[in-house]
Chain A
């Protein structure tokens, strides 16, 4: 080995120390840089073969600068970030829904509902009092407004999520472009053997983290150091291109019938829908389509039960104007967004039905009967008036052509096998005829009210003569049919066949040519079973107030409701709390995991200032020693050169 070689060894050592100090400087400068991994100069001992002594060192060889990092931890962090991003969004969404419902407080739906029911109780205490009625209407309006506010805020929130999605998707597209650029950079740098694109890799790892938080991703590295990134099985970054997420708007119709536009996302290459299930975007989609929507739906369910239950009782009651069938809420507005007090109640509080009204019940003065009897020899009589539904009066009668008598499957013939006393309701067996018909017979017949013998001079049927309850007939409920098949329905009205005095239960025939005396009609109608009990009657209001305690929601398997409105509401607010807690706990867990992973990564790749300081001193010393070595070799050289002088 020549002495000049020793000089080379010294120079290598000086260079290595200098590079190490450079790298230390770089580490110290980037101690606080996000995503920076500490770098280290890797060196190997140089060697050559010497004939005399075997292998001999030639000093130090610099093989490169490498970053110290565990990429597997990065992958784990990426996965956790996707979950963390998802839960963060869900948590924020639920927090905002909590704010919308503002429970528990004195200005919430619970309070409005309580005030509403209480106002009905006050009305019970003063059924005819106008101020009590005003209070019912006013508390109804507050309730309606409360529903509107909640519904509007939830729907606006849902719409605003679209804007958030657009913002985030643009970020995604930006990040994929940057990944593509970094891929290119890394490949170019690493083309020359032994060189590492350390800082670009650090930067790319950081971008991957940012992207992971937004959407779920998978990736792998190819032999040129390029990443291929996929999301939900679709490629979004390839070595040669990026695939954008395209944003569009879709027209939708909400439960109120209003149109609104909703963001849709598609991959730019295959135009398939992009619908991530996790990451911030996944959280936003779920917020928009499920979480917020479910609360809107539950609110709508409550509003519709309110309208239905209150109206069904309110309809039965008497208003101060002595009318029934008035709605308290608009019957068609069953959505939390459009629930409204009915126009009749808005116009006048007299239209609030505090007094108990009659239950509507079907009534008739006619029948379609089957009589099963036995009939023995000629002269035997079947008395149809013993049938429970047959009302035998001078003005009732069996309808002509309506009777069939069957014996043992054989239809008997009127006038041959039997005769009928239409007015008195008896069937008499005749001797003649082909059918022996001894035994069981069934008689199928209709009965109705006979058109009086004095028709058309006397032309009315007084229903109250059948039952005093047959007054106060439900409006337009009377149907009169011709009893002769095919039972033509007669026309009501002054220009038709008959008119009805609904308050007194009297039907008067105005078409004098329609019948002949002795014809029969079938009369069907609905009537009220109870009468108006006076202004001081508040029982209907009491019934409405008691809806509060009634089970009206969530039917069980038999269709019986299992919850009151308040219970339904309380439990869905409870569920809101549970969901939020769950999201919050999940979010915190992920944050904790990410932190732990980051800690591990920091342990590996973090810059420790103390360590760098120590290294600096160390490298300074090696530098000094190497310089001293060169100095020594120089002295040796000088000595050798001096020998020849």
Chain B
């Protein structure tokens, strides 16, 4: 039998009380923080997973933000394409109306005015923005994709004008003479000998040429697709320019006109959003897909061709232009389909992402969070153990032989 001493019992009691109390304190800390892991040493293996999960959840929340942004971007794209579709639909209706041979020239002129407005509306729609960035200019989001340009062409009187790129009214103007219009400022201030030689020029807008004092189709005609002006032989005075044209020739004059310009910047850049881990998706559509490539007859050019038919009061031309308009329609519809497909991909991804976040959060909670039921019953158990140890201690420590001697 080993000797048991008062000091020993005292030590044991003290240590056990301390142990029980510190366990109680640990459980109390867990209960008040609601966390099972409050420091790495609480669960070294779990902490590694826990940190990974935390980081993963934070990343996934970011992907959700990206997705939401992508969705609202595509919503904007979709709305814009819808407006384009509506505008083009109206234009097509006008074209069919205009192609009807019962129309008079005046009626076609009215239709032409309407179509011109629709054309400008179409340009304005193509310049829609999302948070200040142009939707359809690729990654050059600060560059307007399509612009209605107003240009002025000067006809000088002097034969040897210093600017040798200008036409010379005095020498070259006579009935039937044809002059190429050009723009002096297209592309970085370089003179442009032939406006229409540049692929970004999407046609002069028929009906927009004005010369002060002269009247189109009276004093001159314009070939809009070619960009040329031809002066008319005065029917009352054959072999001569009209009186107004002669006056203009004498004083010098300028020709104002409008044309559609496609941005010369690269608009093919794709705008990407990270939608999930190693999943990126393009959210923008480029002008090539919606309006046509730079080298082909695009939507704007088709409208210009149709407008020219209307201006010329030529139902056959109008009829022909409908083919181009229909091609533009096809393109627009396919762009809408593409936008729809992208939206679907993103929406599907968002739902998957939400599931992943729920799953990750659940795992993290299992790792990190306290099982309250377990913790509370543990707490109660520890508390009763502590109470018991206090009571037994008071009994054990009290008596010595001295009490009885």
A residues adjacent to B (C-beta < 8 A): 31-32, 94-95, 98-99, 101, 103-104, 110-111, 113-115, 117-118, 121-122, 124-129, 355, 531, 533-539, 542, 545-546, 548-549, 566-567, 569-571, 573-578, 580-581, 584, 595, 598-599, 602-604, 606-611, 613-614, 617
Q: Per-position contact with A for B44-72: 1 when CB-CB < 8 Å, else 0?
A: 11011111101100110111011001000
Cβ contacts under 8 Å, B348 to chain A: none
Task: Report the minimal beta-carbon distance from A598 to chain B, rounded to whole angstroms.
Answer: 7
With beta carbons under 8 angstroms apart, the residue of B55, B65, B277, B280 that contacts A114 is: B55
Chain B residues in 8 Å Cβ range of A607: 5-7
> Contact between B8 and A103 (Cβ–Cβ < 8 Å)?
no
**Are B52 and A566 interface neighbours, CB within 8 A?**
yes
CB of B2 closer than 8 Å to a CB of A: yes
Interface residues of B in 1-40 (CB under 8 A from A): 2-8, 11-12, 15, 37-40
What's the dominant secondary structure at chain A's contact region?
helix
* Interface, chain B (partner A; CB < 8 A): 2-8, 11-12, 15, 37-45, 47-52, 54-55, 58-59, 61-63, 65-66, 69, 131, 133-134, 137-143, 265-266, 269, 271-274, 277-278, 280, 368, 400-402, 405
CB distance from B7 to the nearest CB of A (A): 5
Cα A534 to Cα B61 in complex, Å, equals 28
Residue from the list A567, A571, A613 in contact with B402, Cβ < 8 A: A613
Are B65 and A121 in contact, CB atoms less than 8 angstroms apart? yes
Please tell me if the beta carbons of A549 and B138 are within 8 angstroms of each other in the complex. Answer: no
Most buried by A among B58, B134, B139: B139
| Other contacts beyond A549-B277, A614-B401: 9, CB < 8 A | A121-B65, A125-B273, A126-B131, A537-B271, A581-B44, A606-B6, A611-B5, A613-B401, A613-B405
- Cβ 8 A contact of A602, one of B5, B66, B402: B5
- A277 to B43 alpha-carbon distance, docked (Å): 28
Question: In the complex, A308→B337 CA distance in Å?
Answer: 43
Q: Which residue of B lies closest to A573 (CB)?
A: B40
Chain B residues whose CB sits within 8 angstroms of the CB of A118 once the complex forms: 58-59, 61-62, 65
In order of increasing CB-CB distance, the 8 nearest A-B pairs are A536-B141, A577-B44, A577-B40, A534-B140, A574-B48, A606-B5, A537-B139, A580-B41
Q: Give the Cβ gap from A42 to chain B, nearest Cβ, in Å.
A: 18
**13 interchain pairs, CB-CB under 8 A:** A103-B51, A122-B65, A534-B142, A534-B143, A537-B139, A537-B271, A542-B280, A570-B49, A578-B45, A580-B44, A599-B11, A607-B7, A608-B6
The residue of chain A having its C-beta at the shortest distance from the C-beta of B56 within the complex is A566
How many angstroms between the C-alpha atoms of A129 and B131 in the bound complex?
Answer: 9
Q: Is the pair A542, B7 in contact by a Cβ cutoff of 8 Å?
A: no
> Which residue in chain B gives the minimum CB-CB distance to A97?
B40
B5 touching A577, Cβ below 8 Å:
no
| Residues of the B chain whose Cβ atoms lie less than 8 Å from the Cβ of A122 | 62, 65
Chain B residue nearest in CB terms to A117:
B59
CA distance A595 to B15 in the complex (A): 10
Instruction: Tell me the bound Cα distance from A285 to B233 in angstroms.
Output: 108
Residues of A within 8 A of B140 (CB): 533-536
User: By the criterion CB–CB under 8 Å, are A533 and B47 in contact?
Assistant: no
- Find B51's partner among A95, A110, A355, A537 (CB 8 Å cutoff): A110
Asked whether, in the complex, the Cβ of A570 is within 8 Å of the Cβ of B51, the reply is yes
Residues of A within 8 A of B65 (CB): 118, 121-122, 125
CB contacts (< 8 Å) of A538 on chain B: these are 271-272
Complex Cα gap A99–B38 (Å): 10
Which residues of chain B are near A31, meaning CB under 8 Å?
6-7
Known: A574-B48, A609-B402. A124 touches B41 (CB 8 A): no
